[in-house]
Chains A and B, each alone.
Chain A
């Protein structure tokens, strides 16, 4: 198993009472999986994803990627994990306006010492996501769909084991949504595991398994 999650829980305190945003979730993902998690806003799906990305510290449970426990208190460890092992596509727009599209894609490569040619890799990825001609443009010149493609390319620059996407199509029109989902399918077919969180029912037609998150509880749905 690529990703092994056991009894993952996140509890928040609201005044005197507490509530569980994520309640004892178990999940296993292999290299060729393309998993979608659907649920309403506030169901805990984003919290769950962000715990896997080590952006939120779980209250309890275990998280193993490629056999290694990734729950750590050390910033250096979690940051490296986020940079190298996973490709995170945040919700909304997350490109840096001060950098060109090419530099945005290359950026994560330089956070740690690496071998290889970042530029060549980035251009290759921009080709794969269909926007090589926009390499020298700035984010403000791009459409919503194009910006999403940049985020996807950037998430792949360090050849991660798994791609985490937080509502990747929530602010896109239906045609662009189709394009993006087809891109995800291609990436999955190329051997990168994908875990996607969404509230759009149409998008769950892609991928090979669907889960439903409801008040922090995860249940599998038959496709």
Chain B
């Protein structure tokens, strides 16, 4: 009958198996720690990722819209709620003359319907490729061609028909590219040049949709996007525009973003503080439990010393036990955190109502390694002191104390 040799590892496992309840409880403590560390770090990284993406995407320093439509504009930008409003395109020329304004470009909004005429209900945005400085730089990151007539560029959340087209108002349009997630409302928007927008508008009229009254679409726009001279302050230029141009409102995207950023920063700080506190708590709990259990086992250690185990071996057995607990707990906690977070990325972002984009795989792996390390190291760290103490005690005395 061939039996396995009694290495330190086997002795450690045996010891853990015989006190399975205690082993499990300690493992759960470490699992909770690694769950919080990994889960919290992924949440934090995703929120920061989403925030930086949002900051980059808006492109324009100011957005000028018809008076009274400020709230709807925020709806489009943040939540992708399809809206439409118009004013005369001459407004763009007036704005271009205002002091502090460097560049202007206009956009035309339309919405589709959740009806037979359309694939899906979304925000439709027409832009002027000649003057645009917002969409095309962003589009070029994923698609290098120009947006031709009749072509669409869609946000990451848009679901396409099987043949890579979308139908709006009875007409199918091919998709030139689908953009990366931005965690802004633009993820559920569709972009096209003004000529294509004219076609869509005509199509809408055919099915009985009148977005505008008698005005021709060519003479109306929905918004003017402004890039300011870098020597000017956005708020001051906005004030200038309000006082110069009538019946308009100016939205400052950065202001909108900064209030979101504040909420996000608070949440991130809470997560980080909670993680640190939990690590300390776990260390204290493990330290106490290891100290108590090691004291309980004085006689066992004395016997091992009597049988010829060196101090180093004794410490080795104890550290192996604590390492097993923290490795197992660390892996289990990380696994549960992964299952709880990655499949529910969209849901979490929606519930938090904050920009949320999962980081790249390389970042996730970095976070994984760090979280596991911090969880794994806690076992040996907290048992180390007690292990060294018990190995130092004179064997004979330990033996008698243990009796």
Contact = CB atoms under 8 A, between A and B. Distances in A.
Interface of A: 50, 53, 55-56, 75-76, 79-84, 88, 90, 92, 94-99, 102-103, 106-112, 118-119, 154
B22 interface: no
Contacts of B7: 110
21 contacts: A53-B306, A55-B305, A55-B396, A81-B308, A84-B308, A90-B303, A92-B403, A94-B299, A94-B306, A96-B300, A98-B15, A98-B17, A106-B6, A108-B307, A109-B6, A110-B6, A110-B7, A111-B307, A111-B309, A118-B3, A119-B1
B198 interface: no
A118 B307 contact: no
B363 interface: no
B3 A119 contact: yes
Contacts of A53: 306
B18 interface: yes
A110 B17 CA distance: 20
B307 A102 contact: no
A82 B399 contact: no
Nearest to A56: B396
Given A56-B394, A98-B18, A88 B313 contact: no
A88 B306 contact: yes
Chain A CB count within 10 A is highest, among B14, B310, B394, for B310
B5 interface: yes
B308 A108 contact: yes
A191 B102 CA distance: 105
B24 interface: no
A94 B303 contact: yes
Contact of B395 (A55, A98, A106, A107): A55
Contact of A75 (B11, B311, B396): B311
Interface string B300-324: 1001111111111100000000000
A90 B306 contact: yes
B393 to A, nearest CB: 12
Contact of B307 (A56, A75, A82): A82
Contact of B306 (A76, A82, A97, A110): A82
Interface string B188-229: 000000000000000000000000000000000000000000
Contacts of A92: 403
B6 A107 contact: yes
Contacts of A50: 396
B2 interface: yes
Nearest to B396: A55
A110 B4 CA distance: 11
Contact of B18 (A79, A90, A97, A154): A97
A102 B3 contact: yes
Nearest to B309: A111
B303 A80 contact: no
Contacts of A84: 308
Contacts of A76: 310
Nearest to B391: A75
Interface in B23-59: none
Contacts of A103: 3, 6, 14
Contacts of A97: 18, 300
B301 to A, nearest CB: 10
Contacts of B2: 119
Contact of B308 (A82, A98, A102): A82
Contacts of B312: 75
B307 A107 contact: yes
Contact of B14 (A98, A106, A108, A111): A98
Given A90-B306, A94-B299, 19 more contacts: A53-B306, A55-B305, A55-B394, A56-B396, A79-B309, A80-B308, A82-B306, A82-B308, A84-B308, A90-B399, A96-B300, A97-B300, A98-B18, A103-B3, A107-B6, A108-B307, A112-B308, A118-B3, A119-B2
B303 A79 contact: no
A118 B5 contact: yes
A99 B305 contact: no
Contact of A83 (B3, B303, B307): B307
B285 to A, nearest CB: 23
Nearest to A98: B18
Interface string B8-19: 000100110110
A154 B307 contact: yes
Interface string B217-249: 000000000000000000000000000000000
A108 B6 CA distance: 9
Contacts of A82: 305-308
Contacts of B396: 50, 55-56
Nearest to A120: B1
Given A55-B396, A98-B14, A111 B313 contact: yes
A146 to B, nearest CB: 17
Contacts of B306: 53, 55, 82, 88, 90, 94
B70 to A, nearest CB: 72
A102 B396 CA distance: 25
Contacts of A112: 308
B6 A83 contact: no
Contacts of A95: 303
Nearest to A51: B396
Which 9 A-B pairs give the minimum distances between C-beta atoms?
A: A83-B308, A82-B308, A98-B18, A79-B310, A110-B6, A55-B396, A108-B307, A119-B3, A94-B303
